[in-house]
Amino acid sequence: MSKRENIRIPVSQQPFTVIQPEDTTTIGGTVSVQINEKKISVPLGMTILEACRQNQIHIPTLCHHPDLCIAGVCRICVVDVEGMRTLQTACSFPITTPIKIHTSTPMVRKARRHIIDLLLSEHYGECYSCFRNGNCELQSLAKEYGVDGYTFGHIDKPRYKVDHSSAAVVRDMSKCILCKRCVRTCIDLQEVGVLEAINRGHDTHIGTFLDKPLADVICINCGQCINRCPTAALRANDPSDEIWEAIDNPKKHVIIQTAPSPRAAIGEEFGIEAGHSFTGELNTALRRIGFDKVFDTNFTADLTIMEEGTELLNRLRKVIIDNDSSVKLPQFTSCSPGWIKFIEHFYPEYLDYLSTAKSPQQMFGALMKTFYAKQAGIDPADIVTVALMPCSAKKFECNRPEMKASGFKDIDYGLTTREMAKMIREAGIYLPEMPKSNFDEPFGDASGAGLIFGATGGVMEAALRTVYEIVTGREVPFKNLAIEPCRGFAGVKQASVKLDGCVEQYNFLEGVELKFVVAHGTANAKKVMEMLRKGELSDVHFVEIMACPGGCLGGGGQPIPTNAEIRRKRAQAIYAEDESLPVRKSHENPHIKYIYENFLTEGPCGKLSHKLLHTHYTKRGKFIS
Amino acid sequence: MKSNVETKKRSGPVVFSEYQRSEGIKKALQLGRENILFELKISGLKGRGGAGFPTATKWMLTAAANANKKFIVCNADEGEPGTFKDRVLLLEYPELVFDGIVIAGFTIGAASGIIYLRGEYEYMLQPLEDYLAEMRKDNLLGKNILGKENFNFDISIRLGSGAYVCGEETALIESLEGFRGEPRNRPPYPVDTGYLGYPTVVNNVETLASVSHIVLKGGEWFKKHGTSKSTGSKLFSVSGDCEKPGVYELPWGIKIKELLEIVEAKNTKAVQVGGASGTCIAKSQFDRILGYEDAATGGSIIIFNENRDMLKVLKNFMEFFIEESCGQCTPCRIGNIKLMEGIIKIENGDFTFSYINNLKELGKTMQVASKCGLGQSSPNSFISILENFSEEILHTNGKGKENVKA
Ligand SMILES: Cc1cc2nc3c(=O)[nH]c(=O)nc-3n(C[C@H](O)[C@H](O)[C@H](O)COP(=O)(O)O)c2cc1C
Ligand code: SF4
Ligand code: SF4
Ligand code: SF4
Ligand code: SF4
Ligand code: FES
């Protein structure tokens, strides 16, 4: 029997786990069941839904999501289990005895149809003016069950006001079907706890603390709730109209930078199976849409490595040589804006551990409106910087008041992969058929190290490739530069590399075991922070944290749906592209060398870097006034 | 409360029969677990909270579960409209209830018992706490109870927060754990995965009170009362249009019309058996018997005479469910609203029979597809009242009947 590990998740809503014998052929390991006419044998404790899916029997679902604990609230997945008085929900029913299941009796079909009718009767929304049109689970169900009218009437006024307060997430609760996937995402998966069901009965709705606007609560803008919402009740704050306007304005010089993860996922928006990169095709599409320059965020990812890596070496020097106790180690990465807001709210007393380096997105903007503007002879006031990101939190980040050290907003608009796909479709372009083209110079060439930022562990891997080589003068001792301990989807990864044979400048690091920790998803971030609080990270030097499960490739702006398999495939696409690139270490990127020679002449972490490429954080705390 | 013996004017064949405090516990300790379960099994006792699940089976499953902690929870949420028998037991017969809890703890191997007391019964909290203190003093609670080595057991009281749905056993457990009072998925059942994930027995107050008698007097004695499928006797909370409302102990199997005579009900048009979630029985069926095999009830009997407007009665019930639905599952959250819309349409005479039939079909879906007993039973009164009183409601009554479309 399973005891609750996480006190928050009601036991019955956790996936039902039965301890299974190693050898499933032993008695008790499997159960024979009959589904419709088919007799099969399934592992003890498997849900009816899983058993059906494995046997190509389709069961509709709404509240079920493979990333989340079981809810059993929408009731759409009901099936008939012989001998039981009521229908049973396939998603929640663990098979522990030999049962006979019928998945399509008249009663089952009628119940499902009724449930859809009920949901539709209260669903205020018109599919043709809805961003989920064509990718909505409620809509597909209506189609699947041949809904051709409103049996129980239809709501004619919205029940709730749309909450536009957040820079990242728009909440339109009139389209909500109360599946609570967002609640489970926010509380259980991310352990942030912004959303919860408020009131009861028909007045139940998903709300925030005291029903405050989302911008006023502890939302970290990760957008994971959006990715798991079956309808358009949650969506990202879409700036594409403003971007079109800028593109259509001949006075404006509109630059887009594209992050590594969108290119590895945007194909999914065009019906292509996950795991295919469309880097070259995307570049062409963006030019055809009318962007004046198409640059690669990976360039500033490389720059981030230089700045953040140097900052780490400086911290190490201060701690080891100067015994400076005011310097905090381990250094935490700062490129995930969801993570930044998380630590600002939940661990404000630990902000000094964060690297002060801005994220690649923001560094890029800062360079565009200074170095690039000057080189290209364009008034920075006329430059519009757009960032194509896998992330909804980037929308909040670019609006942070501190992000305009050059006198101009570093980044004007953060655009998600989904919104970009929409713009591409609007422009009449079918992405997969585009000819390939390269990024524009001079911010087009980036290393594979910048690219792998998209996957959890990627920043760490990129940083190690550079730091190790700077310190020892040799390549990291991993085959093909693939630092395997950084890869994979384990929640918290820990590993180390030994620094030996250090070059003279870094001989204070001779023999040091460089220890690092990688975590993704804020629930895992919380674990790491608790380790830090307990002093368990005192011998660790560097920690990478990404707010989203899987890292940026699982970001809140990525194509819907998401699940472990899709994220794994996106990661594969990213690593494969890294291997195919000629330059795979940030410090070897010739343009990085160029920028330190011609613009940031004091080198990484120099004065100008500090002004343009570094930032500070805000102690926010958990308590909302 | 020991002192109010003189207020005990009640008498009855089983529950209200003779019983002295601690007698049941003493007997239980003599009998041992197996024999207690045996007597319970013989007695045929079924849960008095409404669902009628065999108590012996529930206890056996929990006793057999492999866990280092177990709990017994006494469900004193008593929220079903028209039910007030648990209040009488707790106020006047606490010894029956508390002894029953101790016996349960002993039998299933629990170290703690919890009473989940309806929020509105807060006034009972102090007297009940005093009663528990006295039990502790007399070693009916605490360590090595009545000298039984290693039998350590205590009882705590937790106040509910006023939601009817919290009487549903899994919602009750959620509420005990500090969450929203929302029913859980079943399976797993509380006997396996209950309070804090541990095997838990949830029993109604009256069930536990009956246990004390059964243990003391034997399963055979209990079984002599009632019918073969509904053994023992039952406390009925009778309210509505009658001369003598109140709590009655009557054997199962009694006919509805016999009950009506006892409580001196006249000109009765309908009897709602089982509270808002029960069924409405029309005069023509007053020969039916009360029992699990026919008209089952957790105890609530509400009587309506000829002057009652059955549509209003129905509307009241539906208002109750709309108010009390926890709102987590679709059929109940929205379904009850739709049934209510139908009632309002009928009131206004603005309905079609095919629409009403659609709603009855919807009601049937709610009965089988809702997550918990609330949504599963909320359409009962809609369906039974519209079927049994269709003449009155759909054809001859209602101000707008001329608007009725065929
Ligand atoms: C909506 C709802 C409300 C309930 N309220 C109560 C209640 O107030 N008291 C009670 O004993 N059982 C109540 N029950 C029944 C319990 O879920 C459970 O079946 C009962 O406590 C088990 O005890 P028993 O086997 O002794 O009857 C309710 C059930 C539902 C679905
Ligand atoms: S959320 Fe889905 S069903 Fe609702 S309007 Fe949008 S596409 Fe249509
Ligand atoms: S964006 Fe993230 S933190 Fe905000 S409500 Fe959604 S899941 Fe929670
Ligand atoms: S907002 Fe979306 S995910 Fe959340 S409950 Fe509503 S429909 Fe489900
Ligand atoms: S049936 Fe009603 S009370 Fe029960 S879980 Fe569903 S919404 Fe809640
Ligand atoms: S998918 Fe099973 S209840 Fe929602």
Question: Which residues approach ligand 4 with their CB closer than 6 A?
Answer: A 176-182, 206, 229-231, 233-234
Give the DSSP H or E segment for A279.
helix A279-289
Q: Is the CB of residue B184 below 6 angstroms from any atom belonging to ligand 5? A: no
Distance from CA of B321 to the nearest CA of A (A): 9
Q: What is the pLDDT of residue B401?
A: 47
Nearest by CB: B193 against A12, A78, A153: A12
Q: How do strand B200-204 and strand B300-305 relate by DSSP bridges?
A: unpaired
**Which residues on adjacent β-strands are paired with residue B157?**
B115
Distance from CA of A373 to the nearest CA of B (A): 55
Nearest by CB: B185 against A7, A78, A89: A89
User: Ligand 1 centre from B166 Cα, in Å?
Assistant: 9
User: Ligand 1 centre from B205 Cα, in Å?
Assistant: 10
Please say whether the beta carbons of A458 and A489 come within 8 A: no
Tallying the residues shown for chain A, one arrives at 625
Q: Across the A/B interface, how many CB contacts are shorter than 8 Å?
A: 139
Average pLDDT over residues A418-431: 97
A184-240 pLDDT tens trace:
999 999 999 999 999 999 999 999 999 999 999 999 999 999 999 999 999 999 999
**Which residues on adjacent β-strands are paired with residue B154?**
B112
Q: What does the domain layout of chain B look like in residue ranges?
A: 23-223, 233-305, 310-397
Tell me the CATH number for domain B23-223.
Answer: 3.40.50.11540
Amino acid, res. A276: H
Percentage of chain A beyond pLDDT 90 is 93
Average pLDDT over residues A466-487: 94
Contact between chains at A16 and B188 (C-beta distance less than 8 A) = yes
Q: What is the pLDDT of residue A29?
A: 81
Contacting residues of B for A152, CB less than 8 Å apart: 338, 341, 358, 362
As a whole number of angstroms, the distance between CA A567 and CA A553 comes to: 7
List chain B pLDDT tens, one digit each, 406 residues: 444 444 557 889 999 999 999 999 999 999 999 999 999 999 999 999 988 999 999 999 999 999 999 999 999 999 988 899 999 999 999 999 999 999 999 999 999 999 999 999 999 999 999 999 999 999 999 999 999 999 999 999 999 987 999 999 999 999 999 999 999 999 999 999 999 999 999 999 999 999 999 999 999 999 999 999 999 999 999 999 999 999 999 999 999 999 999 999 999 999 999 999 999 999 999 999 999 999 999 999 999 999 999 999 999 999 999 999 999 999 999 999 999 999 999 999 999 999 999 999 999 999 999 999 999 999 999 999 999 999 899 875 444 444 444 4
Please check whether residue A121 touches B, CB under 8 A. Answer: yes
Pick the atom of ligand 1 nearest to B165's CA.
Answer: 1
Please check whether residue A153 touches B, CB under 8 A. Answer: yes
Contacting residues of B for A92, CB less than 8 Å apart: 185
Please say whether the beta carbons of B153 and B105 come within 8 A: yes
Tell me the CATH number for domain B233-305.
Answer: 3.10.20.600
User: Ligand 3 centre from A338 Cα, in Å?
Assistant: 9
Average pLDDT over residues A320-348: 96
Contact between chains at B376 and A86 (C-beta distance less than 8 A) = yes
- pLDDT of residue A21 exceeding 50, the answer is no
Contact between chains at A202 and B322 (C-beta distance less than 8 A) = yes
Phi and psi, residue A11, nearest 5°: -50, -45
Sequence-distant (6+) residues with CB within 8 A of B245 are B238, B239, B263
Q: Is the CB of residue A61 below 6 angstroms from any atom belonging to ligand 6? A: yes
Contact between chains at A204 and B362 (C-beta distance less than 8 A) = no
Contacting residues of B for A115, CB less than 8 Å apart: 330-331, 365, 369
As a whole number of angstroms, the distance between CA A233 and CA A125 comes to: 10
Place A13 in a pLDDT band, splitting at 50, 70 and 90: low
Instruction: Name which of A524, A514, A451 is nearest A477 in CA terms.
Output: A514
Q: What is the pLDDT of residue B2?
A: 43
Q: What is the three-class DSSP state of A167?
A: coil
Encoded tokens for B384: 């039974």
Contacting residues of B for A180, CB less than 8 Å apart: 328
* Interface confidence (ipTM) of the complex: 0.93
Average pLDDT over residues A385-414: 96
Pick the atom of ligand 5 nearest to B328's CA.
Answer: 7
Average pLDDT over chain A reads 93
For the residues of A101-146, what is the DSSP string, one character each?
EES--HHHHHHHHHHHHHHHHT----GGG-TTTTS-HHHHHHHHTT
Please check whether residue A624 touches B, CB under 8 A. Answer: no
Contact between chains at B327 and A200 (C-beta distance less than 8 A) = yes
Nearest by CB: B333 against A76, A89, A202: A202
Which residue's CA lies nearest to atom 20 of ligand 1? B49
User: Ligand 5 centre from A120 Cα, in Å?
Assistant: 19
User: Ligand 4 centre from A63 Cα, in Å?
Assistant: 9
List domains and CATH numbers for chain A. Answer: 12-17+28-104 (3.10.20.740), 116-236 (3.30.70.20), 252-295+363-433 (3.40.50.1780), 300-360+446-613 (3.40.950.10)
- Dihedral of CA atoms A327, A330, A333, A339 in degrees, nearest 10, equals -100
Sequence-distant (6+) residues with CB within 8 A of A250 are none
Question: Which residues approach ligand 1 with their CB closer than 6 A?
Answer: B 47-51, 53, 75, 77-80, 164-165, 167-169, 202-204, 207, 372-374
Encoded tokens for B78: 């008593």
Sign of CA dihedral B141, B142, B144, B146: negative
Contacting residues of A for B372, CB less than 8 Å apart: none
Contact between chains at B197 and A4 (C-beta distance less than 8 A) = yes
As a whole number of angstroms, the distance between CA B150 and CA B145 comes to: 8
Which residue from A52, A69, A77 has its CB within 8 A of the most atoms of ligand 6, so it is best to mutate? A77
As a whole number of angstroms, the distance between CA A584 and CA A597 comes to: 20
Q: What is the pLDDT of residue A10?
A: 53
Contact between chains at A118 and B192 (C-beta distance less than 8 A) = no
Q: Which of A111-115, A249-253, A370-374, A447-451 has the lowest mean pLDDT?
A: A447-451
Please enumerate, as own/partner, the contacts of B224-229 that have beta carbons within 8 Å and a separation of 24 or more.
B225/B13, B225/B14, B225/B251, B225/B252, B226/B251, B226/B252, B226/B253, B226/B291, B227/B252, B227/B253, B227/B289, B227/B291, B227/B293, B229/B291, B229/B292, B229/B293
Q: Is the CB of residue A130 below 6 angstroms from any atom belonging to ligand 2? A: yes
Please say whether the beta carbons of A75 and B331 come within 8 A: yes
pTM: 0.94
Please check whether residue A87 touches B, CB under 8 A. Answer: yes
Q: What is the pLDDT of residue A14?
A: 59
Percentage of chain A beyond pLDDT 70 is 95
Nearest by CB: A111 against B163, B336, B369: B369
CB atoms within 10 A of CB B264: 10
Q: Is the CB of residue A231 below 6 angstroms from any atom belonging to ligand 2? A: yes
Contacting residues of A for B358, CB less than 8 Å apart: 151-152
As a whole number of angstroms, the distance between CA A535 and CA B135 comes to: 49
Question: Which residues of A are catalytic, by number?
Answer: 308, 311, 335, 355, 394, 397, 402, 552
Q: How far apart are the first and last CA of chain A?
A: 43
Nearest by CB: B179 against A10, A76, A94: A10
Nearest by CB: A107 against B177, B362, B368: B368
Question: What are the start-end ranges of the E strands in B54-134?
Answer: 71-76, 112-117
As a whole number of angstroms, the distance between CA B349 and CA B343 comes to: 10
Q: What is the pLDDT of residue B404?
A: 46
Instruction: Match domain B310-397 to its CATH number in 3.40.50.1980, 3.40.50.2300, 3.30.365.10, 1.20.1440.230.
Output: 1.20.1440.230
Mutate to test the interface with A, among B328, B361, B366 (most CBs of A within 10 A): B328
Q: What is the pLDDT of residue B5?
A: 43
Question: A27 vs B175, which has greater pLDDT?
Answer: B175
Please check whether residue A78 touches B, CB under 8 A. Answer: yes
- Nearest-by-CA chain A residue for B323: A201
Contact between chains at A178 and B361 (C-beta distance less than 8 A) = no
Contacting residues of B for A76, CB less than 8 Å apart: 330
As a whole number of angstroms, the distance between CA A380 and CA A400 comes to: 19
Encoded tokens for B233: 């006797």
- Dihedral of CA atoms B87, B92, B98, B99 in degrees, nearest 10, equals -140
Sign of CA dihedral A97, A101, A107, A109: positive
User: Ligand 6 centre from B371 Cα, in Å?
Assistant: 10
Q: How far apart are the first and last CA of chain B?
A: 62
Mutate to test the interface with A, among B333, B359, B361 (most CBs of A within 10 A): B333
Sequence-distant (6+) residues with CB within 8 A of A37 are none
Q: Report, in angstroms and rounded to the nearest whole number, the Rg of chain B calculated over CA atoms.
A: 22
Taking CA atoms, A382 is separated from A366, A434, A508, in Å, by 14, 29, 48
Q: What is the pLDDT of residue A624?
A: 73
